[in-house]
Amino acid sequence: MRTAGLVSLRDRKLLLAFSQNKRAFYLPGEKIDTGETSRSALRREILEELNIRINPEELRFYTHITAQAFGEENGIMMEQDCFW
């Protein structure tokens, strides 16, 4: 499962979103659609979730995370590109 997430820190506080369905906090962002880059998927999701337009030049790659996808069947892994 390919995803993209936004890491936003301000005043030592991390911006998180909350999923009502999964009852969990997560980095703002979401799955990457077929044909999308992680950057374009993140910009689309932030606009949809937070109504904020992000200039693509402002996004800086931070890290890549591979982990068990929370709330999914065992064996489904999440691959997430994280951006500042």
pLDDT for the residue numbered 47: 94
Number of helical (H) and strand (E) elements in the chain, helices listed first? 1, 8
pLDDT for the residue numbered 8: 95
pLDDT for the residue numbered 53: 95
Q: Could you read off the pLDDT tens digit of each residue along the chain, which spans 84 residues?
A: 999 999 999 999 999 999 888 888 999 998 999 999 999 999 999 999 889 999 989 999 999 999 998 878 788 999 999 999
Topology (CATH level 3) of domain 2-83: Nucleoside Triphosphate Pyrophosphohydrolase (3.90.79)
pLDDT for the residue numbered 70: 85
Q: Angle 34-40-46 (CA atoms, 0-180°, nearest 5)?
A: 110
**Across 11-60, where does the E strand assignment appear?**
13-14, 17-19, 24-26, 29-31
pLDDT for the residue numbered 73: 79
Largest CA distance in the chain: 37
18: β partners? 25
Question: What are the residue ranges spanned by the domains of the chain?
Answer: 2-83
